Chain A
Amino acid sequence: MTNIAAARTLYDKIWDAHVVDQSEDGTCLLYIDRHLVHEVTSPQAFEGLRMAGRKVHAPDRTIAVPDHNVPTTLDRQKGIDNEESRIQIDALDHNAREFGVHYYPVNDIRQGIVHIVGPEQGWTLPGMTVVCGDSHTATHGAFGALAHGIGTSEVEHVLATQTLIQKKSKNMKVEITGRLAPGVTAKDVVLAIIGHTGTAGGTGYVIEYCGEAIRGLSMEGRMTICNMAIEGGARAGLIAPDETTFDYAKGRPHAPKGAQWEAALNWWRTLYSDADAHWDKVVTLRAEDIAPTVTWGTSPEDALPITAVVPAPESFSDGKIDAARRSLDYMGLTAGTKLTDIAIDAVFIGSCTNGRIEDLRAAADVLRGRKLADGVRGMVVPGSGLVRAQAEEEGLDLIFKEAGFEWRLAGCSMCLGMNPDQLVPGERCAATSNRNFEGRQGYKGRTHLMSPAMAAAAGVAGHLVDIREFTVQPA
């Protein structure tokens, strides 16, 4: 049972503020403030409502946007060639209009990856509960919102009742002390954390990221960190809101205004973990120990500093030995190879992990006046139409195009390749996305996860590089 009077974590506070009903065994009915919906995980849920004669309980709290299947080529308006993709997007269009939810269709400039659109439009705010039929809903935790992915049955449950049946997770604190070294970004931090805790290290927990290095991050960086909480197995990731958060939220289309803003701010300022709150698990890393980090294998936990070599399967234990052997075979790598000697064929800059304006600026700073190495193809896919417009206003698109990159329209794109943006078998990609699973970016495609600057630099060099040994030219 929750004791409201005791010292509480941020997670405890948000949880307590959303309990509608609690059973004796601790199972709670939790109220959901924002429900984000995309085309892949929602058609069966809307169909379920229709079959049962149910309505969307709170259409004003429900926001729909197509992102996974949308083409990112400039001829998008001509329609979608793949019939199944087209049917899925048409289904979302039909459902959004029939049930009267907020909706950003494919040709709206505000369209983009749902986890970029939500914060950008001010739907995501501190202290909220946010869910979506998508594991990267964890992204919204950067605002101090309790945000996590759900399956389609739960999507239907939320549509019908605006609640979820939940049991509370445990509290885990991940503290990054000190300051990040030059060249080390939020992406490196979160890869280093997962490399340390493993992909199941967060299972059963909600993680709060804290410490000086986290406080020093922009909202974009904080979203990158929380986005990958799921890759560490956690139910959700959280960062306590502060002035950085409030500055980001202020003035956004759906953020409160005037007296309501002040009232909201008063509550938001109470959203932090009390000094003597109880943590079930604590992990502390020193910022100065974190180097630019990349993955070598087919699990996000296969993360190492760029200065390392491909590990030998025998250096692991238990079931991970076979998994590492399988990874090396899949990735076409030999133990002992320096990571900086791994040649690449493609660069993908985008996704809900690193498709925001700051990410594009970081990549452009590396690419200014440079070109992709011979034989390397590159694609930049902004996270939303508004990110794309902002980048064009800053002239970043010209830098990308001059460097030989394709400058695409917004969508999930090659992060998972549900649209035609895919790797071909054997193609090796420096990617700013979140998963290096087998087949994720395309059948037999090989993915190395890294920061936008590292991916851009790898494209120029033709192989993975240490960004700290690469001159960067900010605007």
Chain B
Amino acid sequence: MDKFTTLTGIAAPMPLVNIDTDMIIPKQFLKTIKRSGLGVNLFDEMRYDRDGNEIADFVLNQPAYRQTQILVAGDNFGCGSSREHAPWALLDFGIRCVISTSFADIFFNNCFKNGILPIALPQEAVDILMEDARKGANARMTVDLENQTVSTSDGQEFHFDIDPFRKHCLQNGLDDIGLTIEKASSIQSYEDQMAQARPWI
């Protein structure tokens, strides 16, 4: 997993609320057995017509937003299915950060496993960032994970909260499984204890 430290890039506005994982990556792209290559199908049904032509007014199809690295979205981003294909598609497109007022729980977890930073901020802050994102390619937002800030192109700064453990893992690109395997003896002793206490499990 790539480390996340600071990111300065183009932010795209997607003010729609309840953007679900079926919108982010529709079911027909879940048949892959790989993690890569999904970026071209990110937001597929909003981005292309039935014949595969780009829909010109969709934000990521506009010239200013083709290099988007940050999404600013409406409430409850990522609701619906547990498909990790959603963050895989975002990452493959080049998006490393999503900003919203709220995120669906499983999507939020999945982001951290892939080096994507989901940032939850109050409505007023998201409104300002959404306006900044509307300025297009000339406006670059900056996300600083160490200092936990997002800055608009004209320097307005917002502080965000993040779980310290998750921050540490993102900053260092750490693999959860490796960390857990260090606790193998605790797992073994839990299993030994349960074999006595609740053997039917």
Contact check, A322 vs B106: say whether CB atoms are below 8 A apart: no
Which of A69, A137, A235, A439 has the most CB atoms of chain B within a 10 A radius of its CB? Answer: A439
Nearest-Cβ distance from residue B66 to partner chain A, whole angstroms: 24
Instruction: Give the complex CA separation of A21 and B179 in angstroms.
Output: 12
On whether A151 and B106 interact (CB within 8 A), knowing A27-B165, A41-B82, A418-B27, the answer reads yes
Q: Which of B14-22, B90-98, B137-145, B147-155 contacts A (4 or more CB under 8 A)?
A: B14-22
Closest to A18 in B: B190
Q: Please give the number of chain B residues whose Cβ is less than 8 angstroms from any Cβ of chain A in the complex.
A: 56
On whether A152 and B33 interact (CB within 8 A), knowing A233-B79, A319-B74, the answer reads no
Nearest-Cβ distance from residue B76 to partner chain A, whole angstroms: 4
Contact check, B74 vs A21: say whether CB atoms are below 8 A apart: no
On whether A87 and B33 interact (CB within 8 A), knowing A160-B177, A203-B104, A417-B27, the answer reads yes
Contact check, B200 vs A323: say whether CB atoms are below 8 A apart: no
Q: Which of A260-268, A355-363, A372-380, A382-390 contacts B (4 or more CB under 8 A)?
A: A260-268
Q: How many A-B residue pairs have CB under 8 A?
A: 183
Instruction: Give the complex CA separation of A326 and B180 in angstroms.
Output: 44
Which residues in chain A, 320-362, are within 8 Å of chain B measured between CB atoms?
320, 322-323, 326
Contact check, A44 vs B110: say whether CB atoms are below 8 A apart: no
Contact check, B79 vs A200: say whether CB atoms are below 8 A apart: yes
| Contacting residues, chain A, for B179 (C-beta < 8 A) | 165
Instruction: Give the complex CA separation of A425 and B179 in angstroms.
Output: 47
On whether A263 and B186 interact (CB within 8 A), knowing A69-B31, A151-B109, A203-B76, the answer reads no
1/0 per residue, CB under 8 A from A, across B50-82: the answer is 100000000000000000000000111001111
1/0 per residue, CB under 8 A from B, across A194-238: the answer is 000001100110000000000000000000000000100111000
Q: Which of A127-135, A182-190, A279-287, A402-410 contacts B (4 or more CB under 8 A)?
A: A127-135
Closest to B86 in A: A151
| Contacting residues, chain B, for A72 (C-beta < 8 A) | none
| Contacting residues, chain B, for A200 (C-beta < 8 A) | 18, 75-76, 79, 102, 104
A437 within 8 A of partner (CB) = yes
B83 within 8 A of partner (CB) = yes
Nearest-Cβ distance from residue B77 to partner chain A, whole angstroms: 10
On whether A134 and B31 interact (CB within 8 A), knowing A319-B16, A438-B22, the answer reads no
Contact check, B16 vs A44: say whether CB atoms are below 8 A apart: no
Contact check, A149 vs B22: say whether CB atoms are below 8 A apart: no
Instruction: Give the complex CA separation of A435 and B83 in angstroms.
Output: 14
Contact check, B20 vs A437: say whether CB atoms are below 8 A apart: yes
Nearest-Cβ distance from residue B98 to partner chain A, whole angstroms: 15
Choose one: A41, A133, A161; the contact of B187 (CB below 8 Å): A161
A174 within 8 A of partner (CB) = no
| Contacting residues, chain A, for B47 (C-beta < 8 A) | none
| Contacting residues, chain B, for A54 (C-beta < 8 A) | 177
Closest to A91 in B: B33
Instruction: Give the complex CA separation of A55 and B80 in angstroms.
Output: 30
Which residues in chain A, 409-464, are within 8 Å of chain B measured between CB atoms?
416-418, 425, 435, 437-440, 443
| Contacting residues, chain A, for B163 (C-beta < 8 A) | 25, 27, 167
Instruction: Give the complex CA separation of A292 and B199 in angstroms.
Output: 43
On whether A199 and B16 interact (CB within 8 A), knowing A20-B186, A165-B180, A418-B31, the answer reads no
Contact check, B82 vs A149: say whether CB atoms are below 8 A apart: yes
On whether A233 and B76 interact (CB within 8 A), knowing A41-B82, A135-B81, A160-B177, the answer reads yes
| Contacting residues, chain A, for B104 (C-beta < 8 A) | 200, 203, 233
Residue pairs across A and B with Cβ atoms less than 8 A apart, 8 shown, are: A40-B83, A82-B31, A156-B177, A165-B180, A200-B75, A233-B104, A263-B200, A443-B45
Further contacts, 4 of them, CB under 8 A, given A263-B198, A440-B22? A157-B177, A165-B180, A264-B200, A323-B74
Residues of A at the B interface (CB closer than 8 Å) are 20-21, 23, 25, 27, 29, 31, 33, 40-41, 43-44, 47, 52, 54, 57, 68-69, 82, 84-85, 87-88, 91, 125, 128, 133-135, 137, 148-154, 156-157, 160-163, 165, 167, 199-200, 203-204, 230, 233-235, 256, 260-261, 263-264, 267, 299, 301, 318-320, 322-323, 326, 416-418, 425, 435, 437-440, 443
Which 4 residue pairs of A and B lie closest in terms of their CB atoms, listed nearest first?
A256-B200, A153-B113, A84-B31, A149-B82
